[in-house]
Amino acid sequence: MTAPRTPGAPGAPGTPSPADALRGAGLRVTSARVALLETVRGGDHLGVDAIAAGVRERVGQVSVQAVYEALHALTAAGLVRRIEPPGSPARYEGRVGDNHHHLVCRSCGTVVDVDCAVGEAPCLTAADAHGFTVDEAEVIYWGLCPDCSTTRSS
């Protein structure tokens, strides 16, 4: 059974086009930014090199520095989400605004989305919030993906 699409998730009904999303966030619409947002939305927890390659396929030459700058702007605007599992380089995804979590394979590094563990965001209640107003929880589940599990048991 497939999980329902969350608003803002790539391909979700009502998800604005990349150009409309950029305008709505108050960002300048450029071909490189549109290509970057398309690449992230169409990818699967991509690293910067993969994003740069996807942008180059769409618009030609772009520097890695320009990709970093655009990713920073799009992350700050809430159009993409940066995740950085410990020991891994930063990855980016287009599924935003739903406080979902991730499964990470300890062997190959594959990252997959997993919906919120329990209840509404922030999903978890801190035993002691130390006076903070908690509005988000980030959970990373670690283990072995099916392919790596099969390889290890063979």
Residues 6+ apart with CB under 8 A from 58: 31, 35, 38, 39
**Mean pLDDT, rounded, for 19-24:** 96
Residue whose tokens read 């996807």: 54
Reported confidence tier of residue 126, pLDDT bands at 50, 70, 90: confident
Q: Is residue 36 over pLDDT 80?
A: yes
Residues 6+ apart with CB under 8 A from 109: 88
Output the CA angle 112-116-121, nearest 5 degrees.
135
Q: Does domain 99-153 have CATH number 3.40.50.12780?
A: no
Q: Does domain 18-91 have CATH number 3.40.50.2300?
A: no
